[in-house]
Structure 1
Amino acid sequence: MAEKNQENGVGAGNPIVEVSPKPQKGLTSKLIDCLEKLIVSLMYDTSQSHHYLSGNFAPVLDETAPVKDLPVKGHLPKCMNGEFVRVGPNPKFAPVAGYHWFDGDGMIHGLHIKDGKAAYVRRFVRTSRLKQEEFFGGAKFMKIGDLKGLFGLLMVSMQILRQKTKVLDKSYGIGTGNTNLIYHNGKLLALQEADKPYVVKVMEDGDLQTLGLLDYDKRLKHSFTAHPKVDPFTGEMFTFGCSHEPPYVTYRVISKDGVMHDPVPITISDPIMMHDFAITENYAVFMDLPLYFQPKEMVKDKKFIFAFDETKKARFGVLPRYAKDDLLIKWFELPNCFVFHNGTLLSFTCFKFQKHYPPELINMFLFNREKSLGCQIPVPKSIVWLLFRYVICKKANAWEEEDEIVLITCRLQNPDLDMVNGAVKEKLENFTNELYEMRFNMKNSVASQKKLSEPAVDFPRVNESYTGRKQRYVYGTLLDSIAKVTGIVKFDLHSEPEPGKGKIEVGGNVKGIFDLGPGRFGSEAVFVPSKPGTTSEEDDGYLILFAHDENTGKSSVNVIDAKTMSADPVAVVELPHRVPYGFHAFFVSEMRRLSWASWGPSKGTSFEARDGGVLDLNSFLTLKLDSDHTFLSHVDQEQLQEQAEL
């Protein structure tokens, strides 16, 4: 086993940590189970259905080894050799009581493509949380969906009791790995805010294997955002984490070789939670939006535990991205922060308890229950860090333009965390999500914003070769009244939006819409360039996404032309199993996968080119050849190594 772990990058001298939790069965566990069942029977209506456990939100309970030679209508372009992966919530065990869409165990669905042929695989992200519930044969961790009314407080107490009595082992974290996927330094990472990254290996046949946690040689002591940024020009990864005590936000830079640099504390007055942030060529952009934790209202009015303060302003912090401290950060404000609930940074203000609750109940909500934080009680990270998908925005990109930082993002108005929770719904009330441009002038300190779309659009993606640089096109998902993805829309940022339409349709800055058709729904689309790098046209490539036909119960992968947005797909791959709706996706090119196989996760995958430029196989496989920023594309591994040796 030790030799096998060393081959996979697990063991001494490597930042991947094998996850081996030690939960405990026995009398204590049984007594807590009985107490929990009593609470549920007295205070929860178990007859109610769960919207996000029904229809195609329902989980698939079994994993699937690679199923090869799938039917393909059309053709799969050669540039798509690799693996398309998408992660989402997929609970292995039925909840004890409530269930929120963000609660499920992470499951990765993969489509392995090679020479026009396709194979499908699905695997759980084998987190500490999942392993412990498998040990017990049922759900043991509290759910976000439980956090309403006094019942919510009691369910939190059950979680704390299990941890205190060692029934559950929290030493490896309690995250689900269900939010996002990213590739860096030869590793595919499954991410979720409540945990460190999980490393998933893409095998030669397309199978997926969870190797363990990534702690960067024990340098990662805090949480890790689900949305780090990889600079395609330098190969570096930029990330951050949040904490319940100062520093509330910690910014990190990770080299192209996977070395995590020293922490940079970001000074913020209150504990905050950021789901996303942005980078440009020279800056990192942090965002601070007000989210209030209101346990009194939760108990009194049986409301969900979080609410926004629409009177607060939104703050945006711009920091030089290689800063050693935050002395040079520049903060901007935009008015009417209630329209910025989609912001990539969430801030909550602690509720002051005074005499409303006894100390033992207050202590349920402490991050560190051995240390008193006074009367200001921050939300426990095991609750908060899963609560973001529809409260915050999905950032498309940011760049520098003369004296301004430009941010392209989606904005959700009238957010309500409870709208993706609980019983089956016909529609989501007041659901509006719009594409926005925000500008921050570094010279005169003025911030401005401009609406770029009608509702509802989300999950914006770009050609990632332009991450942190000025780009023209944004690809978003169109959402219906129940937040299902009905199609993909292409925005042209060089064109002005047509005002007064009331809905998204072709014209103005909307250059194309791919409609999935009646009863068919999709997920986030990922851009795959025809040629790596920035030599070809920005929209020269393909969009790939999972889709499901509710009329037939069949799932598929669709490939569409990103340039033309033609209604006729380039390819449709029929899948052997149903794929539930999920969250974020990523495309791992075959060259990226080979970088793992050839050098291994600890050997590095970068070379110095002849002119001092960097060849980085973990970025977009581009080689800087000369000073005019031209790049060499479509070369094989031997050619790249020969160039590097010159």
Structure 2
Amino acid sequence: DPFPSFPANTALIYHHGKLLALSEADKPYVVKVLEDGDLQTLGLLDYDKRLKHSFTAHPKVDPFTDEMFTFGYSHEPPYCTYRVITKDGVMLDPVPITIPESVMMHDFAITENYSIFMDLPLLFRPKEMVKNGEFIYKFDPTKKGRFGILQRYEKDEKTIRWFELPNCFIFHNANAWEEGDEVVLITCRLENPDLDKVNGTQNEKLENFGNELYEMRFNMKTGAASQKQLSVAAVDFPRVNESYTGRKQRYVYCTILDSIAKVTGIIKFDLHAEPESGKKQLEVGGNVMGIYDLGPGRFGSEAVFVPKEPGVSGEEDDGYLIFFVHDENTGKSEVNVIDAKTMSPDPVAVVELPNRVPYGFHAFFVNEEQLVHQQAEV
């Protein structure tokens, strides 16, 4: 079995009446939310045996078409395979994406007409892991970062356009869209990742883990690529109002990181404002609209944006941010709900939890309509 059972512990997504629990080394698991809030695993989803490769933890659902776009990466050729899943849950034929060697490809992005793949130089190196006990992926600082842009519904990769930018690694993208001849990607860029820190083999503080918010532009007419730094370190887990997935939007919400796993606050960026130059730390001003600080000894999770109204007819930031907080002073965990528009230090709601919620990866909000329309089987 090429898919030993990996825990589906990275992220969640809802599509075609199914809540999917995801890990990029496996296929999706269908999970049902029961009336009492418990979770029931319904089983592995292989799309009528059409899915024969791993499935990213970060697929994208287009809110305008209800289609889902996804990919899987592998240690054997083809190192990346792209898939489109219709609004009715049917997986279309695989589109292999040719890249020179096996890399970690944690995320990708979509626009209205394109899908964006990231061939970044975090390379699969099992020998180093066996020999030196290092992380199985090794960053090569001599290679460029490559970004491949393909029309969303292409049946093969013949028309993919590859762009180069200075080397980096990216765990998470915020969003992407088209602007004239350009494709714009908003992302959290990492200059020189030390993955042994993620693996827990070194001091977990962030001296060499400076994730920063960036805007990248790829000109489909001229082939030019450029990038612009939008923040200082360290931010990650960017979220937007997902009613705007693949379309131009204004606000990005990130976590402020003290270490690999410890979130000290939530920060709101305004993409219409210019970043203040000369900043050494994250603070309000310029393109930083607000910071919600969790306080000493309190650490959080990715903040999920929940709009007050569905769709794009209202104000983009009119909604809430929901996230977990663990207080290391008291040992208590809670859910915090804050106002995404004002970023007020006074939470809208705090729900104390009976058990500890460990520091983790991603979160997902399931709304009432999705709960009602959950399918009963895989």
TM-score (norm 2): 0.95
Instruction: Provide the secondary structure at the position in 2 that maps to 1:592.
Output: helix
Q: Deviations over 1:383-426 (max 9, x none)?
A: xxxxxxxxxx2100000001100000001222112113346846
User: How many percent of aligned residue pairs carry the same amino acid?
Assistant: 76
Q: Deviations over 1:207-230 (max 9, x none)?
A: 110010000001111111111000
Tell me if structure 2 keeps the 8 A contact 1:228–1:237. yes
The answer to whether 1:578 aligns with 2:360 is: no
Instruction: Provide the secondary structure at the position in 2 that maps to 1:408.
Output: strand
Instruction: Provide the secondary structure at the position in 2 that maps to 1:585.
Output: coil
In structure 1, what residue type is equivalent to 2:215? Answer: E
Q: Deviations over 1:439-470 (max 9, x none)?
A: 00011100000000010001000000000000
- Shift of the 197–296 alpha-carbon distance from structure 1 to 2, 3 Å rule, reads closer
| Structure 1 residues 318-467: aligned runs within 5 Å | 318-335=149-166, 337=167, 340-342=168-170, 393-422=171-200, 425=203, 427-467=205-245
- Shift of the 272–564 alpha-carbon distance from structure 1 to 2, 3 Å rule, reads same
The answer to whether 1:198 aligns with 2:29 is: yes
The answer to whether 1:288 aligns with 2:66 is: no
Measure the CA separation in 2 of the matches of 1:191 and 1:445.
34
- The equivalent of 2:76 in structure 1 is 245
Tell me if structure 2 keeps the 8 A contact 1:185–1:601. no
| Structure 1 residues 580-599: aligned runs within 5 Å | 580-596=358-374
Tell me if structure 2 keeps the 8 A contact 1:175–1:193. no
**How far does residue 193 in structure 1 lie from its aligned partner after superposition?**
1.1
Measure the CA separation in 2 of the matches of 1:301 and 1:273.
19
- Shift of the 319–311 alpha-carbon distance from structure 1 to 2, 3 Å rule, reads same
| Structure 1 residues 1-20: aligned runs within 5 Å | none
In structure 1, what residue type is equivalent to 2:114? Answer: Y
Measure the CA separation in 2 of the matches of 1:291 and 1:533.
37
- Shift of the 296–238 alpha-carbon distance from structure 1 to 2, 3 Å rule, reads closer
Instruction: Provide the secondary structure at the position in 2 that maps to 1:274.
Output: coil
- The equivalent of 2:93 in structure 1 is 262
**How far does residue 303 in structure 1 lie from its aligned partner after superposition?**
4.2
Q: Deviations over 1:468-526 (max 9, x none)?
A: 00000000000114641011000000000001111110000000011111111100000
Instruction: Provide the secondary structure at the position in 1 that maps to 2:50.
Output: coil
Tell me if structure 1 keeps the 8 A contact 2:212–2:235. yes
- Shift of the 482–306 alpha-carbon distance from structure 1 to 2, 3 Å rule, reads closer
In structure 2, what residue type is equivalent to 1:444? Answer: T
**How far does residue 200 in structure 1 lie from its aligned partner after superposition?**
0.3
**How far does residue 530 in structure 1 lie from its aligned partner after superposition?**
0.4
Tell me if structure 2 keeps the 8 A contact 1:428–1:483. no
- Shift of the 246–299 alpha-carbon distance from structure 1 to 2, 3 Å rule, reads closer
- The equivalent of 2:343 in structure 1 is 565
- The equivalent of 1:227 in structure 2 is 58
In structure 1, what residue type is equivalent to 2:169? Answer: H
Larger Rg: 1
**How far does residue 298 in structure 1 lie from its aligned partner after superposition?**
4.9
**How far does residue 256 in structure 1 lie from its aligned partner after superposition?**
0.8
Tell me if structure 2 keeps the 8 A contact 1:249–1:272. no
Q: Deviations over 1:586-630 (max 9, x none)?
A: 000011111126xx568xxxxxxxxxxxxxxxxxxxxxxxxxxxx
- Shift of the 594–459 alpha-carbon distance from structure 1 to 2, 3 Å rule, reads same
Instruction: Provide the secondary structure at the position in 1 that maps to 2:365.
Output: strand
Measure the CA separation in 2 of the matches of 1:499 and 1:222.
45
Measure the CA separation in 1 of the matches of 2:352 and 2:135.
40
Tell me if structure 1 keeps the 8 A contact 2:86–2:92. yes
TM-score (norm 1): 0.57
Tell me if structure 1 keeps the 8 A contact 2:101–2:123. no
Unpaired stretches in structure 1, ≥5 consecutive residues: 1-169, 343-392, 603-646
Instruction: Provide the secondary structure at the position in 2 that maps to 1:548.
Output: strand
Q: Deviations over 1:529-576 (max 9, x none)?
A: 001111110000000001111110000000000000000000001111
Measure the CA separation in 2 of the matches of 1:485 and 1:584.
12
**How far does residue 291 in structure 1 lie from its aligned partner after superposition?**
2.4
- Shift of the 251–504 alpha-carbon distance from structure 1 to 2, 3 Å rule, reads same
Measure the CA separation in 2 of the matches of 1:584 and 1:436.
21
- Shift of the 288–422 alpha-carbon distance from structure 1 to 2, 3 Å rule, reads closer
In structure 2, what residue type is equivalent to 1:310? Answer: P
Measure the CA separation in 2 of the matches of 1:207 and 1:282.
38
- The equivalent of 2:254 in structure 1 is 476
Measure the CA separation in 2 of the matches of 1:472 and 1:210.
37
The answer to whether 1:493 aligns with 2:271 is: yes
**How far does residue 427 in structure 1 lie from its aligned partner after superposition?**
2.5
Instruction: Provide the secondary structure at the position in 1 that maps to 2:366.
Output: strand
Unpaired stretches in structure 2, ≥5 consecutive residues: none
Tell me if structure 1 keeps the 8 A contact 2:305–2:340. yes
The answer to whether 1:177 aligns with 2:4 is: no
In structure 2, what residue type is equivalent to 1:194? Answer: A
In structure 1, what residue type is equivalent to 2:373? Answer: S
Tell me if structure 2 keeps the 8 A contact 1:493–1:509. yes
Measure the CA separation in 2 of the matches of 1:405 and 1:499.
25
- Shift of the 326–424 alpha-carbon distance from structure 1 to 2, 3 Å rule, reads closer
Measure the CA separation in 2 of the matches of 1:497 and 1:577.
40
- Shift of the 601–405 alpha-carbon distance from structure 1 to 2, 3 Å rule, reads farther
- The equivalent of 2:324 in structure 1 is 546
